[in-house]
C-alpha cells in the first residue's frame, strides 16, 4: 500500500507538501549518476578553495574567494553582484541570482571566511588521507560552497528552472558574527520562501549519522568593567582599591547566572588587569561569550547581571556589566521541521539515515535568515566533516554524492510545491 503524509506550511500562499519515505523510496538514478560524476570536480573545487587562505580579516584572501565564487556563478548563468559589507574588514559579499519559470523563491547561503590566521597552510596543508581530505576551512564552510556550486551545475545541466527566483549568497564575515553582512542576509531572506543554509554536518563516527539542523544559538558579548584605585603595591597597598580582586569576586559570583535563565549560556573567557607588577591595579575587565536560544535572552541576562554586581567585595570600587546582542538565535518552526523530514525521506532513497539535530551551541547565519519568520529555514546542507575551529579540519568524501543528491532533490521538490 502506498502511503503519503501531507504537511502544509504557509507563508502567504506558500505551502510545502512532504511525502513519506515509503513514497520516495525509489532514487532518482539520473540525479544519483550526475552526483557521482560530479565528485571529482567537487574535490578539485575544494582543493582550489582551500589553497585560498581566507580568514575573516584577510581582505586579499577574501577578494580571491569572491573572485572564485563569482566566476563560478557567472558560468552557471547567474546575474552577480559584489556588495560591500557594512562593518568589519570591508570585504565583499557575492550575490548571484537566477530567474526561472516556476513559482517559488529559493535562497542558498554559505560563507567564504574561515577562523584561521594567514599562513595556516604552512602548518596545516591540504592533504588527502583515504576518505578524508584535510585543509583549513574545507568543511566550514568551503564544503558548503562546493555543494551549492556543483548542485546548481547538475540542475543547470539538466535544464531545471522550476523556480521564480533562486538567490545564492556567499558572505565574508560569518566567523566574526556576520557583523557586516547579517542585515543584508536577513533582508534577502525575507524576499524568499525557503532558505537552505550550507554549514557542515558532523561526520560519522564523530556523530552517529549525518544530519540537518533545526536550531542554533544566537550570540552576545558580555563585558565586566571594574574601576578601583592605584597605589604602591609594596609601600602602601592599603591605600589602593584592587580592581583585579574585585573582578575575581564578580567573576565568581556571576559565573552561574545564566543557569537560572533557560535558553541562555554565559562563559567568562577573557580578562585583563594591571600593567606593572608593583602597582595595585585600578582597572580590570573581563569578556564573556554568551549563547542564546530565546529572543529576550539579552535583556534577561542584563537584568540578572546588574543585580548580581551590586554585591561588592571591595568598597569604593565601581562595577558595571554590559551585554551586547550579536547574531540572533535560529529555531526552526514547523515548516522547517517538515522540510527536514523531507530531507530524511530523500536520504532514505539512497539507503542512508539522516538525523535531525535540534540545537547546536554554535551560531550560524540561519539566525539572520529566519529572524523575521517569513522564510522557511533549515541548516547544515554542507558536506560532512569535523575539526573545524580546531586542528586538522577535514571533510569525508563519502558525503559528497549524498549531499549533492540531497540538495538537488530537495530543490526540485521545492520547485514542485504549490
The three grid cell numbers given for residue 25, joined into one nine-digit string: 523510496
Task: Report whether pLDDT(13) > 70.
Answer: no
The residue-averaged pLDDT of 383-394 equals 96
Task: Report whether pLDDT(293) > 60.
Answer: yes
Helix axis angle for 400-416 and 143-157, nearest 10°, is 60
pLDDT one-digit tens code per residue, 29-44:
999 999 999 999 999 9
Eight-class DSSP state of 52: S
Are 133 and 43 in contact by the 8 Å Cβ rule? The answer is yes
Are 184 and 123 in contact by the 8 Å Cβ rule? The answer is no
pLDDT one-digit tens code per residue, 167-198:
999 999 999 999 999 999 999 999 999 999 99
Strand duo 127-129 + 132-134: pairing: antiparallel
Output the pTM of the full model: 0.89
Measure the CA–CA gap between 53 and 70, rounded to whole angstroms: 17
Measure the CA–CA gap between 348 and 353, rounded to whole angstroms: 6
List CB contacts of 201: < 8 A, sequence separation 6 or more. 207, 210, 211, 212, 213, 380, 382, 383, 384, 385, 399
Among 333, 314, 215, 219, residue whose Cα is nearest residue 265: 219
The three grid cell numbers given for residue 311, joined into one nine-digit string: 554585591
Eight-class DSSP state of 235: T
The pLDDT of residue 258: 98
- Taken in order 55, 61, 65, 70, is the CA torsion positive or negative? positive
Beta bridge partners, 227, equal 283, 318
Measure the CA–CA gap between 66 and 210, rounded to whole angstroms: 29
Measure the CA–CA gap between 250 and 253, rounded to whole angstroms: 5
The pLDDT of residue 25: 65
| Helix, coil or strand: residue 8 | coil
The mean predicted confidence, pLDDT, of the chain is 94
Eight-class DSSP state of 260: G
Largest CA distance in the chain: 90
Task: Report whether pLDDT(21) > 50.
Answer: no
Q: Is cis: bond before 205, omega within 30 of 0?
A: yes
Among 378, 384, 408, residue whose Cα is nearest residue 193: 378
| Helix, coil or strand: residue 360 | strand
Helix axis angle for 29-50 and 143-157, nearest 10°, is 140
Measure the CA–CA gap between 271 and 278, rounded to whole angstroms: 19
Confidence label for 418 from pLDDT (cuts 50, 70 and 90): confident
Task: Report whether pLDDT(141) > 80.
Answer: yes
The pLDDT of residue 26: 86
Measure the CA–CA gap between 301 and 293, rounded to whole angstroms: 12
Task: Report whether pLDDT(5) > 50.
Answer: no
80-91 burial, b at 16+ Cβ within 10 Å, e below that, comes to: beeeebeebbeb
The pLDDT of residue 12: 35
Are 186 and 369 in contact by the 8 Å Cβ rule? The answer is yes
Among 135, 191, 129, residue whose Cα is nearest residue 166: 191
Among 73, 89, 76, 99, residue whose Cα is nearest residue 169: 73
The three grid cell numbers given for residue 391, joined into one nine-digit string: 586542528
Among 384, 330, 385, 386, residue whose Cα is nearest residue 358: 330
| Catalytic residue ranges | 113, 174
Amino acid at each position: 500500500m502506498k502511503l503519503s503524509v501531507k504537511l502544509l506550511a504557509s507563508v502567504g500562499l506558500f505551502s510545502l507538501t512532504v511525502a513519506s519515505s515509503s513514497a520516495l523510496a525509489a532514487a532518482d538514478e539520473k540525479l544519483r549518476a550526475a552526483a557521482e560524476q560530479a565528485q571529482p570536480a567537487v574535490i578539485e573545487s575544494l582543493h582550489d578553495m582551500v589553497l585560498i587562505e581566507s580568514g575573516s580579516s584577510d581582505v586579499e584572501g577574501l577578494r580571491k574567494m569572491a573572485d572564485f565564487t563569482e566566476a563560478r556563478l557567472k558560468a552557471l548563468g547567474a546575474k552577480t553582484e559584489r556588495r560591500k559589507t557594512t562593518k568589519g574588514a570591508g570585504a565583499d559579499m557575492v550575490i548571484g541570482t537566477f530567474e526561472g519559470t516556476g513559482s517559488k523563491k529559493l535562497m542558498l547561503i554559505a560563507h567564504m571566511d574561515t577562523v584561521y590566521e594567514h599562513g595556516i597552510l604552512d602548518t596545516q596543508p591540504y592533504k588527502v588521507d583515504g576518505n578524508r581530505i584535510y585543509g583549513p576551512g574545507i568543511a566550514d564552510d568551503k564544503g558548503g560552497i562546493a555543494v551549492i556550486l556543483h548542485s546548481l551545475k547538475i540542475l543547470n545541466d539538466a535544464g531545471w528552472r522550476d523556480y521564480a527566483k533562486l538567490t545564492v549568497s556567499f558572505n565574508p564575515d560569518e566567523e566574526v558574527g556576520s557583523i557586516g553582512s547579517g542585515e543584508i542576509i536577513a533582508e534577502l531572506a525575507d524576499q524568499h520562501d525557503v532558505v537552505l543554509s550550507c554549514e557542515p554536518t558532523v561526520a560519522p563516527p564523530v556523530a552517529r549519522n549525518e544530519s540537518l539542523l533545526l536550531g542554533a544559538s544566537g550570540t552576545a558579548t558580555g563585558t565586566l568593567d571594574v574601576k578601583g584605585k592605584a597605589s604602591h603595591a609594596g609601600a602602601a597597598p592599603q591605600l589602593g582599591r584592587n580592581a583585579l580582586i574585585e573582578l575575581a569576586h564578580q567573576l565568581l559570583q556571576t559565573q552561574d547566572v545564566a543557569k537560572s535563565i533557560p535558553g541562555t549560556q554565559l562563559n567568562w573567557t577573557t580578562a585583563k588587569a594591571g600593567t606593572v607588577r608593583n602597582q595595585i591595579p585600578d582597572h580590570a575587565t573581563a569578556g564573556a561569550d554568551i549563547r542564546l536560544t530565546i529572543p529576550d535572552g539579552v535583556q534577561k541576562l542584563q537584568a540578572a547581571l546588574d543585580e548580581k554586581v551590586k554585591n561588592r567585595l571591595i568598597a569604593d570600587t565601581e562595577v558595571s556589566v554590559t551585554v551586547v546582542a550579536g547574531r540572533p538565535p535560529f529555531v526552526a518552526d514547523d515548516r522547517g521541521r517538515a522540510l527536514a523530514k523531507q530531507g530524511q525521506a530523500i536520504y532514505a532513497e539512497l539507503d542512508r539515515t539522516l538525523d535531525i539535530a535540534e540545537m547546536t551551541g554554535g551560531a550560524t547565519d540561519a539566525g539572520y535568515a529566519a529572524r523575521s519568520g517569513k522564510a522557511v529555514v533549515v541548516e547544515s546542507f554542507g558536506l560532512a566533516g569535523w575539526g573545524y575551529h580546531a586542528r586538522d579540519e577535514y571533510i569525508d568524501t563519502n558525503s559528497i554524492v549524498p549531499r549533492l543528491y540531497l540538495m538537488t532533490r530537495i530543490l526540485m521538490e521545492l520547485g514542485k510545491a504549490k
